[in-house]
Amino acid sequence: MSKNISKLSGRIGLKNNLFQKISERSLKSKNGEGMKEIAEEYNLGVSTIHGAESFYEFLRPEHRAKKAFICNGSACMCAGTQEKLKDKLETKLGKGKVGAMFCLGYCYENRAFHYDGENYAGEDINKIDQIIKGEEIKQNKLFSKSFASTSFLMDDKLDNLNQFKSLLEKYLKIDGKEIIKNLLESNLCGRGGAAFPTGMKWDFCGQQKAKKKYVVCNADEGDSGAFSDRYLLEDQPLKVLFGMIICGYVIGGDEGVLYIRGEYPKSIESVNGCINELKKQKLLGENILGTKFNFNINICIGQGAYICGEETALIASIEGRRAEVDVRPPFPTVEGLYKKPTVVNNVETLAAATGILINGSKKFSAIGNKKSAGTKLVCLDSFFKNPGVYEIDMGTPMKKIFHEIGGGFKESVKALQIGGPLGGVVPVELAEKLNLDFQEFTKAGFMLGHGSIVSIPKDFNMVEYIHHLFEFTAEESCGKCFPGRLGSYRGKEMFDQALSKKNKIPIKLLNELLTTMKKGCLCALCGAIPVPISNILKYFGDEMKNDIST
C-alpha cells in the first residue's frame, strides 16, 4: 500500500510536494477543510491525507490553540528553568496558552521558548513585552570556536558565492569516481548517529541504474543537547548546500531535498536565502556553469515529529505519508524517496564532505583513526563554564573537552547524557576516561552519536530522568511497532507511579520490558532508549533504591 502512495505522490513529485501542501492547508484551516481536494488532486483516499496530517504535533488543533511554547528538552529540564518561564509566559498570554516543543537547540542558554514563529532563550524573557509587541530584540549569538588541528567545518573558506563558484567549477571538471575516491580516503563516517562511511554510501547510490535519484539532507536535528546542525545551517550554509550539490553530481541525481525542522526558524531563513542566491547566480538549476549537470534543491519544513530524523520516516514524511519507520533493506541508496535511489546524509556530514574537498582528504584521515576520523562538532550545554559549539579533532580526550575547552562545570554534575535521548548516560568520572571516538563509546556501553552533551546535576532525581526518557519515547514513537508503541507507555506508567509514590518500580518487569524493546523494536528510537535507562540503573541504581521493588 505504501508503495502505491509513494508512486502516486511521486507522480506529482517535489514541485507540488504533498507533505508541504498538507502542512500549509492544515495550518490555514480550522477544521481540516481542503483535505478532500488534496486527496482528489493526488488521487489518494481522504483517510490517507488525514492519516498524514494527524501525525504531526504542529498540525493538531490543541497545539495550534497555544500562543507560546516552552522547550521541554533534556538540557532545559536539567537546568530547572522551565517552570518559572512557563508561569511568566502564562501571566502575559493567559492560562493554558503555553504549550511545549521538544528541544529548540538553546541548551547553552536554557529558558528557551518559541513565540510567533521565533525562538528566544536566556535573558530574552525579560523583554517579553517588546517581543509581544512584535519589536525585534537583540539576542545572544551562539558561541562557536574551532580547536581542530585543521578546521573543516568552521573555517572561512566557503563564505561567499565567488568561493562557491570557483570550488564548483573545479569539481564539476573532475570525474565523480575521483570525488568518491577522495571521500573514501578521508574515512569520513556519517555524523547523523550511525557513523556509516559516507564515500561508500555515495558509491552504492551512484552504482544504481535509475534515471532519477535524490539527495536528502537530514536537517531534522531533534536530539536534546544538539545544536551543531543549527550552527552549520545558520553560519555555514554554503558548505551544507555545496555538499548536497556535489553529492547529486557524483551519484547522477538532479534533485535534492533539505528536510529541516520547523523548530529552527532562523535556519530555515538562512538556507532559503542562500538557495535563492545560488539560483540567481545560476549555481543551482539547469546546466550549471555551462555543463550538462542540472540540480535543484527543495526545502521541506518539518511539523514537530522527532521520528522524522530517522531516514525511512523522513522519506515517508517528504512523500506525504504518515511518518512511520520502514523496514530496511531495501536501504534508501537502492529504494529511497519515491522508491528511487537516494542518499540521505546529515547536515554535518555534507558540510564535512565539502571541507574535505576544500582541504584534502589526507588532512582529514590524518586526524583520529580509520573508523573515527577527522573533526567533529561537539555541543556543550549551560552547565559548562564555556558553553557553545566546538570543532574538535576525533580522538581528543573527553577530559580536555570538559575542562580545557568547556572550562569545567559551573556546579556539581554527576552524569552526562551524550548523543541525544538515545545516547548513553555516562558518569562524569567514566566519561573523563574516554576519548572522542565512536567505537570507544560503543565499547564502553554508551553512544557518541551526534556529539551533544547534556549535564545532569548532582541532585537531579534519576527516577525523574528515566521518566523523562520514557515520556519522550511514548510521545515521539511513530506507533508502527508493537514493542515501541506499548513498551514506551508501560515504561512511562511505571515511573509515573514511582514519582507519585503510588507504587515502586518493579525491577524484574522493567528489565524484561527493556530487553523486549531492545530486541523487538523496528528502529533505534524505542530500540535504543533501553541504553540510557540501563546505564542509569547500573551506575545510579543505589540512588533509586527506595523507589525500586525486587
Ligand X SMILES: Cc1cc2nc3c(=O)[nH]c(=O)nc-3n(C[C@H](O)[C@H](O)[C@H](O)COP(=O)(O)O)c2cc1C
Binding positions for ligand X, rule: CB under 6 A: 190-194, 196, 218, 220-222, 307, 309-311, 344-346, 349, 523-525
Orientation angle between helical segments 347-359 and 161-172, nearest 10 degrees: 80
**CB-neighbour burial class of residue 441 (10 A; exposed 0-12, middle 13-18, buried 19+):** buried
Query: Rounded to the nearest 5 degrees, what angle is found at the Cα of 469, between the Cα atoms of 466 and 470?
Result: 90
Q: How far apart are CA 107 and CA 454, in angstroms?
A: 8
What is the C-alpha separation between 213 and 206, in angstroms, rounded? 9
b/e per residue, 61-83, with b = 16+ CB within 10 A? eebeebbbbbbbbbbbbbbebbe
Q: CA 354: distance to chain centroid?
A: 20
Residue 48 vs 473, nearer CB to ligand X: 473
CB of 191 or CB of 467, closer to ligand X: 191
Residue (35 or 418) nearer to ligand X, CB: 418
- Tell me how far apart the terminal alpha carbons of the chain are, to the nearest angstrom: 46
Residue 381 grid cell: 550545554
If the CB atoms of residues 17 and 228 are measured against ligand X, the closer one turns out to be 228
Cα separation values, 285 from 166, 207, 279, 290, 455, Å: 17, 24, 6, 11, 45
Q: How far is the CB of 291 from ligand X (least distance, A)?
A: 26
Coarse DSSP helix, strand, coil percentages of the chain, rounded to the nearest 5 percent: 50, 15, 35
Could you tell me the smallest distance in angstroms from the CB atom of residue 58 to ligand X? 16
When the beta carbons of 48 and 354 are compared against ligand X, the nearer one is 354
Burial of 136 (C-beta count, 10 Å sphere; 0-12/13-18/19+): exposed
Least separation in angstroms between CB 372 and ligand X: 13
In the complex, what is the shortest distance from the CB of residue 310 to ligand X, in angstroms, rounded to a whole number?
A: 4
Q: How far is CA 320 from CA 14, 17, 324, in A?
A: 11, 8, 11
- Type of residue numbered 395: G
Amino acid found at 93: L
Q: How far is the CB of 192 from ligand X (least distance, A)?
A: 3
- Smallest CA-to-CA distance from 220 within 19, 415, 83 is with 19
CB of 218 to ligand X, least distance (A): 4
Q: In angstroms, what is the minimal distance from the CB of 4 to ligand X?
A: 24
Q: Using the minimum distance from each CB to ligand X, give the nearer residue, 82 or 345.
A: 345
As a whole number of angstroms, the distance between CA 263 and CA 352 comes to 24
* Amino acid of residue 261: R
Residue 262 or 406: which CB sits closer to ligand X?
A: 262
Query: Which lies closer to ligand X via its Cβ, residue 114 or residue 230?
Result: 230
DSSP-assigned letters across all residues of 5-35: HHHHHHHHTTTT-HHHHHHHHHHH-SSSTTH
Residue 474: phi and psi, rounded to 5, are: -65, -40
- The C-alpha angle 507, 508, 509, rounded to 5 degrees, equals 90
Tell the smallest beta-carbon distance from residue 439 to ligand X (Å). Answer: 16
Closer CB to ligand X, residue 342 or residue 535?
342
Nearer to ligand X, 349 or 516 (CB): 349
Taking the complex as a whole, how short is the minimal distance between the CB of residue 19 and ligand X, in angstroms? 17
Q: How far is the CB of 320 from ligand X (least distance, A)?
A: 19
Least separation in angstroms between CB 286 and ligand X: 28
CB of 365 to ligand X, least distance (A): 17
Task: Considering the complex, state which of residue 184 and residue 524 has its C-beta at the smaller distance from ligand X.
Answer: 524
CA angle 377–381–382, rounded 5-degree value: 145
Residue 161 or residue 200: which is nearer to ligand X going by CB? 200
Of the two residues 98 and 244, which places its CB atom closer to ligand X in the complex? 244
HEC per residue, 169-232: HHHHCCCHHHHHHHHHHHCCECCCCCCCEHHHHHHHHHHCCCCCCEEEEEECCCCCCCCHHHHH
Instruction: State which H helix or E strand residue 257 sits in.
Output: strand 255-260
Residue pair 137/127 in contact (Cβ under 8 Å)? The answer is yes
Nearest approach in angstroms of CB 383 to ligand X is: 23
Q: Which is nearer to ligand X, 403 or 485 (CB)?
A: 485
In angstroms, what is the minimal distance from the CB of 167 to ligand X?
Answer: 20
DSSP state of 285: B
Question: What is the greatest pairwise CA distance in the chain?
Answer: 72
